[in-house]
Amino acid sequence: MGGRHMEPEIGGIMVSSTAKPAMPWFGLAFAASCTILIFFGFSFTFFSRVISSLRPLVLYAHVATAASWVILVVVQAALAMRRKLALHRRIGEWGFRLGAFAALSAFATALALRRESVLRTADEARRVARLAFLSIPLNGAIAFSALLACAYVWRHKPAIHRRCILLGAATLTLPAVARIPEIGDGPWVAAPTDGFMLLLVAVDLIRERRLHPVHWIAVPLIVALQQFSAWLFQARPEWWVQTASFLCGL
């Protein structure tokens, strides 16, 4: 078969066996920026809430797998940029498994921590608020899981695959930013995450002169999910409180 042979990739670089893509550094720079922000944000609670006392074991599993996944995305982007395609592909298969464990542990951690938090609270109003808050961590877990699944399904279509992976890395910045003092409780907590997504959109328009379907479908859906999860927490409708209580086994 003629034409350029395109290889699957993780890390935002369109991998070709015959030509280098435009802006080959962008995927690495984007993945590294997301990773730095993620580690910075979670550093504010890692020692005070994770290390200082014994927490549900699934939390430690999630910390290990999620941290490993974002680091792996940076490694994969670097390998793609340096044209180490064979190693890139081999690591990529394990990367999806690691991402799946990170996604599953994210759901389990959200439920375990909510249950623990509610059980420590005697006041009914605070119990309702803490149950309703479940929508916030579930928002991130759902968005990341959907993007990872799409990246796997279309792993042989680099244009789709790389955008899903980079969007997935961007969604992980939201819970990290939420842990930064003076920002996490403010109205602009989602601004850095949305800024990362808008950067991907801008690069699309600059490089391709058009917006790729992944971005015009996924970005509005991610933002809508952010707004819906925030509404569930703030409005605390009865049906959601009951659902959250059921999910937490309460």
Partner residues linked to 60 by β-bridges: none
Q: Cβ contacts of residue 223 below 8 Å, gap of 6+? A: 190, 194, 197
Q: Which of the 8 DSSP states describes residue 6?
A: E
> What is the per-residue pLDDT for 197?
97
Residue found by looking up tokens 């479908």 in the block: 217
Secondary structure class of 87 (helix, strand, coil): helix
Supply the mean pLDDT for the chain.
87
What pLDDT was estimated at residue 23? 66
pLDDT of residue 101: 96
pLDDT single digits (tens) 20-37? 445 678 989 999 999 999
- The mean per-residue pLDDT over the stretch 115-123 comes to 90
Cα separation, 8 vs 17, in Å, equals 11
Distance CA 230, CA 237 (A): 12
Q: What is the pLDDT of residues 211-229, one digit of tens each?
A: 999 999 999 999 999 999 9
Q: The tokens 């605070």 sit on which residue?
A: 126
Closest by alpha carbon to 170, among 150, 188, 192, 141?
A: 192
> What per-residue confidence (pLDDT) applies to 122?
83
Q: Look at the block and give the residue holding tokens 């479940």.
A: 134
- Asked whether 61 and 94 are in contact (CB, 8 A), the reply is no
Higher pLDDT, 244 or 52: 244
Query: What tens digit of pLDDT does each residue of 159-205 get?
Result: 898 899 999 999 999 999 999 988 877 778 999 999 999 999 999 99
Total residue length of the chain: 250
Q: What CA–CA distance (Å, rounded) separates 17 from 203? A: 23
Q: Distance (Å, rounded) from C-alpha 117 to C-alpha 130? A: 7
Using alpha carbons, list the distances in angstroms from residue 166 to 43, 59, 102, 190: 22, 24, 16, 17
4-19: average pLDDT: 39
Question: Does residue 15 carry a pLDDT above 60?
Answer: no
Per the listing, tokens 């994770």 go with 50
Return the SS3 of 20.
Answer: coil
pLDDT at 51: 81
- Write out the H or E segment, with its range, that includes residue 15: strand 15-16
Q: Which are the contacts of 115, defined by CB distance < 8 A and separation ≥ 6?
A: 248, 249, 250
Tell me the average pLDDT across 115-125: 90
pLDDT (0 to 100) of residue 150: 95
Residue 242 Cα distances to 133, 140, 249, angstroms: 12, 21, 11
Are residues 51 and 116 in contact, defined by beta-carbon separation less than 8 angstroms? no
Q: What pLDDT does 6 receive?
A: 42
